[in-house]
Each structure stands twice: as C-alpha cells, then as structure tokens.
Amino acid sequence: MRDNFNNHSSAFAHRSTKELKQLVRLFWLLSNPRISKIGVQLLKHFGHIQLPGLQHLQRWLFHPFYAGTSLQACESTVVSLSNSGVHSYLNYAVEDISTDSEFDTNCEMVQKLIVHASKTNDIPFSVCKPTSFGHKHLFQKINAKQSLNLEEQIAWKKVINRFRSCCQIAQEHGVALLVDAEEYSMQIATDQLVLDLMREFNLNKAVVYNTVQLYLVDGNHRLKQMHMQAIQQSFYLGVKLVRGAYMEKECKIAHKHGLSSPICTSKSETDMSFNAAVDYCIKHLTNIAVVLGSHNEESMIQAINLMDQYEIKRNDDRIWFSQLLGMSDYISFILANEGYNVVKFVPFGPMDKLIPYLARRAEENSAIAGQTTRELVQLQNELKRRTRLANER
Ligand SMILES: Cc1cc2nc3c(=O)[nH]c(=O)nc-3n(C[C@H](O)[C@H](O)[C@H](O)COP(=O)(O)OP(=O)(O)OC[C@H]3O[C@@H](n4cnc5c(N)ncnc54)[C@H](O)[C@@H]3O)c2cc1C
C-alpha cells in the first residue's frame, strides 16, 4: 500500500492542472511556519470582516477546503468525489453560535442534510457538533458535576431534544450521524449524552457515532469503557477515531487553571494512542463500527494491515476511512481505488461563519510540517509528471 500511496496519477486524477497549481501555492504558504502563523492570526482577527477584496482572497485561499456557501453549491463536489469512488458527508460548518434560535436553525439544517443524504448513495453519514445544539457552558457544568439551575435544566432538555430528533430522522432515513468531539472540558458530558442516544438508536446497528480524540491521555480508557457499556447493555458502539484538533487551546486552558494538560506529552505518544485505538476497534468489529478520521499514512497502513490480518473485507460497512475535503486527497483516492470505504468531510456555509473551521485547518497544517510537506511533494511530483507528459506529446 505504501507504494500505492506514491502513485500520483490515480491520486490526483480528479484535479485539473490549474487546481493543482493553486494547491501547491497554498500548501507552500502553509508549510512556511512564519507566513502561516501570521495568516492564521489575521484570519482569526479580521476573517469575519466582509470586504470584497478580502472575501475574494479568502475564497481563493480556502477554495480547496470547503464546497461553497450553500447546499446546492456542494452538488458538484459530491459528484466529483463520487466519480472516483469517494463518498461525502456534508457539514454546515457554522461555529461560535449562542442563541436558542441559532441552535434550532442548526438542528433544522442537520435534519435537512440527513434527509438530503438519504436520497443518494454518495452520502452515507451526517455530522453535528455538540456546541451547534447547545451552549458550551451547559456541557461544562454537567462535566464538572455542577447542578444546573432551572433555566439551565430547560436549556439542557432542549439540547437533548435536538440530538434525539436528529437521531430519530437519521434512523428513519438509514443515514448514520457522527457527533464531533470538541474541548476536553465538555467531553464527559458529551460521552454520556451520546451513549444514551446509542442505547436508544443503536440496537440493530450503529446509527449514532461518538468521537474519541486520541491525543487525550484518557482516550483509550474512555473508548474501552464505552465499549464495555455497549456489550453489557447490548447496543452497537459507533465511534469516530481522531487524534484531536484543539491542542493549542487545551494547553492554554490547562496552563491558565494551573492544571496538567490532558493531552499526550509528545506526537509519538499520540500516534501510539491513536494506533492502539484503531487496533482495538478493528479487533472488536462484532459490536463496534468505526470511522478512522485521519490524514496519517502510517495509521492508514496499519489499519489496512489489520484488516488483512483479521480477514475483514475491504468494503465492510463497519469500517470507514475519512479525510477532510482538500486534505490528503491522495490517501482518500488511492484507498477508494483499492476498494476501501472512504468518506470525505465536506464543509459548506457562509465564508465568515467558516472562519473558526478554516483557521483550525490552517493551524493544523502549519503545525504538522511533516504532513504538509509530504502533501506538497506529492502535488509537485504530479505537476512535474503532467508537464513531462505534455512535453513528450
Ligand atoms: C474526518 C475527520 C473528522 C475529524 N473530526 C474531528 C473531531 O470531531 N474533533 C477533533 O478534535 N478533531 C477532528 N478531526 C481533526 C483531527 O483530530 C486532527 O486534528 C487531524 O486529522 C490531524 O491529525 P491526523 O490523524 O490527520 O494525523 P497527523 O497529521 O499525523 O497528526 C497531527 C495531530 O497529532 C497531534 N499532535 C501533534 N503534535 C503533538 C504533540 N506535540 N503532542 C501530542 N499530540 C500532538 C494533534 O492531534 C495533531 O492534530 C477530524 C479529522 C478528520 C480527518
């Protein structure tokens, strides 16, 4: 498989030469730590400002990472991915919201996206963020075992109802719902909520999936605890495994409160933790369904080797590989080409509302010089290959 990951032509067949050149420029910028650090700060502080020139620049910069401003605009991305055997799931990537009416609007959007997904084989999953259904402080209070006042109890009931209504629709329409993981300070509350939903909706198969961030020291422990509950209470555990996207934020929060960071002390520890979780899930597919959300080649190769070892069919619907739109396309397309289940996370929405998501991607890319450089080299090699072919003609 490692050799296959170097097969550029099949990995980039879906990209025009113009798009490849744009990606090279973008990843070159991201691979330069100084430029990308300044860029991320500018994006965070001024990204919401709606100046025509700035919007044009943002669209140019972030075009590969999002599908457009409306559901309709996603259509061409979904079709183009599907033509290469890659599935999609659509995310209305609006973050940092705080009013009841915004939470309701988001819930309606998730429901609409579930129904939309059910009309095509190209979109097997839907996705939601806990804080798109309720305020962060509610999750944090429950997490810290603090009691809620009457107003908060009513608000929490609404959060549960928003989740339940989405799960209900997901079940009725045969679409699975992934619940994202966010900050550690709200994760125990999220786990409890999503496990309750699994008890209700995952009786015959995984409809609802929780996310486990394996950069957390307690990630594997929580994964096993959830699995034990699934065994004891006879439901299927749906789980998305990721390394985790809030590293800097978590370190700052821990530092501010004089606590030790909940995150593994090194990248290699996170890698070991992630790979152990992959191993655990693949070994227990009798009652676990897993989505591997990662751009890490080594982890993907490990998963494939384990599937071989346990004689699991490549297209077994209990195991999906997943990458973000515009990132590690070569991994997604090659895996799909080899017959594995692959699904791309496809965000869309108004540009100013997408800023927190895009800033995380830019931060992530600049923080992981290794992966970004690998991506850049792959893109440059493909461009060279195409130029050579054109010259030979
Ligand atoms: C489909 C999909 C869904 C996702 N959903 C979520 C989600 O719900 N919640 C969420 O938080 N993230 C989510 N992510 C993002 C994910 O958590 C990672 O940030 C991102 O994928 C990069 O990790 P990687 O596995 O691709 O591999 P790599 O590029 O190999 O790893 C980078 C990651 O390693 C960890 N890391 C880096 N340096 C260190 C260090 N010094 N010490 C300890 N750990 C370190 C960090 O988690 C960093 O993001 C998702 C990613 C994908 C592809």
For residue 383, tell me if it sits in a domain: no
For residue 184, tell me if it sits in a domain: yes
For residue 203, tell me if it sits in a domain: yes
CA angle at 366 for the pair 363 and 370, rounded to the nearest 5°: 135
Q: What's the token pair of residue 132?
A: 């798109």
Q: d(Cα 184, Cα 251) in Å, to the nearest integer?
A: 11
Our measurement of the distance from residue 265's CA atom to the centroid of its chain's CA atoms, rounded to an integer in Å, reads 23
Of all protein residues, the one whose alpha carbon is nearest to atom 30 of ligand 1 is 296
Residue 140: pLDDT band (50, 70, 90) is very high
pLDDT tens across 106-125, in order?
Answer: 999 999 999 999 999 999 99
CA of 245 to the centre of ligand 1 (A): 5
15 lines ligand 1 (CB under 6 A): no
pLDDT tens across 45-56, in order?
Answer: 666 666 566 666
- In this predicted model, which residue has the larger pLDDT, 37 or 163? 163
Q: d(Cα 165, Cα 201) in Å, to the nearest integer?
A: 11
Residue 367: pLDDT band (50, 70, 90) is low
Q: Is the pLDDT of residue 78 over 80?
A: yes
For residue 51, tell me if it sits in a domain: no
Mean pLDDT of the chain: 90
pLDDT tens across 316-335, in order?
Answer: 999 999 999 988 888 999 99
**CATH number of 211's domain:** 3.20.20.220
Query: Phi and psi for 343 in degrees, rounded to 5?
Result: -135, 130
249 lines ligand 1 (CB under 6 A): no
326 lines ligand 1 (CB under 6 A): no
Helices of type H across 47-135: 52-62, 71-83, 100-118
Per-residue CA distances from 89 to 85, 113, 169, 183, 325 (Å): 14, 9, 16, 22, 10
> Which domain, by its residues, includes 132?
4-11+70-355
Per-residue CA distances from 44 to 39, 47, 48 (Å): 9, 6, 8
Q: Is the pLDDT of residue 86 over 60?
A: yes
* Residue pointed to by tokens 């799931």: 89
Per-residue CA distances from 354 to 94, 138, 199, 381 (Å): 6, 23, 33, 31
Q: Cβ(352)–Cβ(47) under 8 Å?
A: yes
- DSSP for 217-266, written as a single string: TTHHHHHHHHHHHHHHTT-PEEEEEE--S-HHHHHHHHHHTT---SB-SS
Nearest-atom index, ligand 1, CA of 328: 26
Nearest-atom index, ligand 1, CA of 291: 1
Question: What percentage of the chain reaches a pLDDT higher than 70?
Answer: 89
The predicted pLDDT at position 20 comes to: 87
The predicted pLDDT at position 244 comes to: 96
pLDDT tens across 235-283, in order?
Answer: 999 999 999 999 989 999 999 999 999 999 999 999 999 999 999 999 9
Q: Which of 99-113, 140-154, 287-301, 359-373 bottoms out in mean pLDDT, i.e. has the lowest?
A: 359-373
For residue 250, tell me if it sits in a domain: yes
The predicted pLDDT at position 168 comes to: 98
209 lines ligand 1 (CB under 6 A): no
Could you give the number of structural domains in the chain? Answer: 1
For residue 162, tell me if it sits in a domain: yes
The predicted pLDDT at position 51 comes to: 59
For residue 377, tell me if it sits in a domain: no
The predicted pLDDT at position 97 comes to: 85
Q: Is the pLDDT of residue 357 over 90?
A: no
Q: Is the pLDDT of residue 369 over 70?
A: no
The predicted pLDDT at position 30 comes to: 75
Neighbours of 388 (CB within 10 A): 9
- In this predicted model, which residue has the larger pLDDT, 366 or 160? 160
CA of 64 to the centre of ligand 1 (A): 19
Nearest Cα residue to 139 out of 196, 187, 101: 187
213 lines ligand 1 (CB under 6 A): yes
Q: Is the pLDDT of residue 17 over 60?
A: yes
Q: d(Cα 195, Cα 230) in Å, to the nearest integer?
A: 9
Residue 26: pLDDT band (50, 70, 90) is confident
The torsion region of residue 258 among left (phi > 0), alpha (psi -120 to 50) and beta comes to left
For residue 36, tell me if it sits in a domain: no
DSSP conformation class of 132:
G
